[in-house]
Amino acid sequence: MKKIIFAFAILISMGLQTFAQSIDTLKNEPVQYYFFVNNIPSDFNYPLIGIVNNVNGNHESVQIGFANLTKGNFGGVQLGFANTVNGSVWGLQNGFINNAGSTFKGIQNGFINNVSGSVSGFQNGFVNLANDSLIGLQTGFVNTAKNTIGVQVGFVNLTKNMIGFQHGFVNSAKKLTGVQLGFINSVDTLEAGVPIGFLSFVKHGGFSALELSTNENYWINLSFKIGTKAFYTFPVLSYNPDSSDRFALGFGFGSNISITNKFFFNPEISSSFAISNNIRNINSFNTSFGYELTNRLAIIAGPSFTWNSPIVSTPINNDIMWLFDHDFSFIDDFAYGFKCAVRYTL
């Protein structure tokens, strides 16, 4: 049986060599078409299966091996540990490292995906690099593209001009037309759309302001608003000398919704923790209205609703501007009151 298999393998090898030699005669170029190393000329459009597949020009077919190298353009499927095409690619590259020296149309799937030119399609990997424009989708830990029309989803997303959607822990775009959703968003110029996250830094077209307010819980509240008028976040430090919980520290988000050129609706949601022995959580919802006295100065006022949830079960003694107060239990407390504020836009 072993002798038969061995003889069959020899016949296949001889057949491949003969076939390669016939092609070689037509093209006058050297052809090596073996299992371990395949070295073929340009436009030899037959499947390559080997440890190393090397094409000295263009190739349109399938390459399966540990290392696949095409010195010209490639169309088809490359499957291997390292896939490299010096020219343009259309089709699929699937491997640990995928590289295209010019434009790419199709799918790249691997640990590192790099395209020197533009990408039209899908890159999926730990690191995705499109050194020119991206039209399509990138998903990975780090996604970078010069210009993007489409979607980037990853831990870090970087692009110069973004038209579409970025979702990740850190999103950065020089120009944004679309939406950013992440923990930290950075935009130099906001053309249209909104960044949504814990912190959003927008240099041109953004919003930042300092606000001093009083409400039903604390006489003095100092907050810093940052983001855009459509969506901003803010840390807030609160103080009430008459309360057993004098200090509180919190975080919230809100929006400025224009009604007229100067009049706006300003809903906000915030959550604070009282800093004392009797720690409690203060959740507030403000439905205020504001009026811009100048381009930078505005006054704000409106009803506020608060839900208090003491972490330590002690009664709440703090009713500065409460219009209504009801204890739903010994622990939880609901109240509504009023908020007044002065805001200075930076």
Give, for all 346 residues of the chain, the pLDDT tens digit.
444 444 434 434 433 443 444 444 444 556 676 778 999 999 999 999 999 999 999 999 999 999 999 999 999 999 999 999 999 999 999 999 999 999 999 999 999 999 999 999 999 999 999 999 999 999 999 999 999 999 999 999 999 999 999 999 999 999 999 999 999 999 999 999 999 999 999 999 999 999 999 998 899 999 999 999 999 999 999 999 887 778 999 999 999 999 999 999 999 999 999 887 667 788 999 999 999 999 999 999 999 999 887 765 544 444 444 444 444 444 567 888 899 999 999 9
Tokens standing for residue 329: 């239990």
Closest Cα to residue 50, out of 36, 68, 60? 36
Which pLDDT value is given to residue 334?
80
Beta bridge partners of residue 76, listed in sequence order: 61, 91
pLDDT of 277: 67
DSSP 88: -
CB neighbours (10 Å) of residue 271?
Answer: 15
The verdict on pTM exceeding 0.85 is: no
CA gap 199, 287 in Å, rounded: 22
Which CATH code is given to the segment(s) 207-345? Answer: 2.40.160
For residue 54, the model assigns a pLDDT of: 96
In contact, 29 and 41? CB cutoff 8 Å: yes
Domain boundaries, the chain: 30-117, 133-204, 207-345
Considering just the CA atoms, what is the radius of gyration of the chain in Å? Answer: 32
Q: What is the pLDDT of residue 293?
A: 97
205 near 189, Cβ under 8 Å?
yes
pLDDT at 210 (0 to 100) = 98
Instruction: Please count the other Cβ atoms lying within 10 Å of the Cβ belonging to residue 36.
Output: 10
